[in-house]
């Protein structure tokens, strides 16, 4: 969800104004994905690198999270959404952890879309913690090195219960992955748009999905094999 700061700057406002308008896009995109029957939506809300932003901005982002969770909780329930997180959430401020735990608990029996917030998430951190816990298991003879295959690695990632990524969308014109789901996007379709996140609404989501629909996903095979 990139481009909040630039959106605010274009309007002569503080970056924070961009983030609060970014929340409106979050609301609209989440509701529309749920309505369309998308089963998994993962939002990159705060990266392991975002701590190096000015303290004021980090505090505002944390506050926005808490107020959004409080305010949108009913809407999540109405839309039958299950909330989860990926990332090192134990390092988030306690008030954020508490609010997350509350909404996760309250939505856990819903049967609709899985909405995952990537919070204090970084793919390299995720892969590192997976390696570390695997190394401990090998050391303690819980698993033998020959048994470490792709599915075992998958099971040690934050995304262990999630399917492969089909489509990755990045707003604001940057053509980078920025440490997001590096292992999981091996075969994902990538969609980059110049639209800044606060302007990324329903119509923009539809554009991305229509574009995705016209991709041919070959997973290493040839076009002829797929059409046979």
Nearer to ligand FPP, 130 or 198 (CB): 198
Token pair of 197 as six digits: 């996140």
Could you tell me which residues are beta bridge partners of residue 190? 168
- Which residue of the chain is nearest ligand FPP when measured via CB? 5
Question: Could you tell me the smallest distance in angstroms from the CB atom of residue 8 to ligand FPP?
Answer: 8
Which residues does 112 contact at the CB level (< 8 Å), separation at least 6?
34, 79, 80, 81, 82
The closest of 186, 53, 64, 178 to 121, measured between CA atoms, is: 178
Which residue lies nearer to ligand FPP by CB, 134 or 197?
197
Specify the DSSP element, H or E, that contains 158.
Answer: none
**Helix axes of 55-78 and 15-36: crossing angle, nearest 10 degrees:** 20
- Residue 25 near residue 1 (C-beta atoms within 8 A): yes
What number of other Cβ atoms are within 10 A of residue 92's Cβ?
19
* Residue from 2, 21, 114, 120 carrying the catalytic annotation: 2
Based on CB atoms, which residue is closest to ligand FPP, 161 or 178?
A: 178
Q: Quick one: 21 or 130, whose CB is closer to ligand FPP?
A: 21
User: What gap in Å lies between CA 196 and CA 1, rounded to an integer?
Assistant: 8
Least Å distance, CB 131 to ligand FPP, is 27
* Residue 183 and residue 110 in contact, taking contact as beta carbons nearer than 8 Å: no
- List Cβ<8 Å contacts ≥24 apart for 9-14: 10/196
State the nearest-atom distance from the C-beta of 27 to ligand FPP, in Å.
8
For 6, 54, 180, 210, the CA distances from 49, given in Å and listed in that order, are 18, 12, 11, 32
Based on CB atoms, which residue is closest to ligand FPP, 67 or 128? 67
The residues that touch ligand FPP, with contacts defined as CB under 6 A, are 1-6, 15, 19, 22-23, 26, 43, 45, 50, 61, 64-65, 68, 117, 172, 197
- Is 2 a residue of the active site? yes
In the complex, minimum distance from the CB of residue 39 to ligand FPP, in angstroms, rounded to a whole number: 19
CB of 101 to ligand FPP, least distance (A): 16
Positions marked active-site: 2, 50
């Amino acid at each position: 969800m990139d481009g909040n700061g630039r959106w605010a700057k274009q309007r002569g406002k503080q970056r924070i104004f961009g983030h609060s308008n970014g929340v409106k896009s979050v609301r609209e995109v989440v509701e529309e994905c749920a309505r369309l029957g998308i089963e998994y939506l993962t939002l990159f809300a705060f990266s392991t690198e975002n701590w190096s932003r000015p303290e004021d901005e980090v505090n505002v982002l944390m506050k926005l999270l808490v107020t959004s969770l409080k305010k949108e909780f009913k809407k999540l329930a109405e839309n039958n959404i299950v909330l989860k997180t990926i990332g090192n959430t134990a390092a988030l401020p306690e008030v954020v952890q508490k609010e997350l735990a509350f909404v996760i608990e309250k939505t856990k029996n819903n049967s609709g879309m899985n909405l995952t917030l990537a919070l204090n998430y970084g793919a390299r951190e995720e892969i590192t913690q997976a390696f570390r816990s695997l190394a401990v298991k090998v050391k303690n003879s819980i698993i033998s090195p020959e048994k470490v295959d792709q599915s075992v690695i998958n099971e040690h990632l934050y995304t262990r219960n999630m399917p492969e990524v089909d489509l990755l969308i990045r707003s604001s014109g940057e053509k980078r992955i920025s440490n997001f789901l590096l292992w999981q996007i091996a075969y994902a379709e990538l969609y980059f748009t110049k639209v800044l996140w606060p302007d990324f609404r329903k119509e923009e989501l539809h554009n991305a999905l229509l574009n995705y629909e016209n991709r041919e996903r070959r997973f290493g095979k040839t076009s002829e094999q797929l059409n046979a």
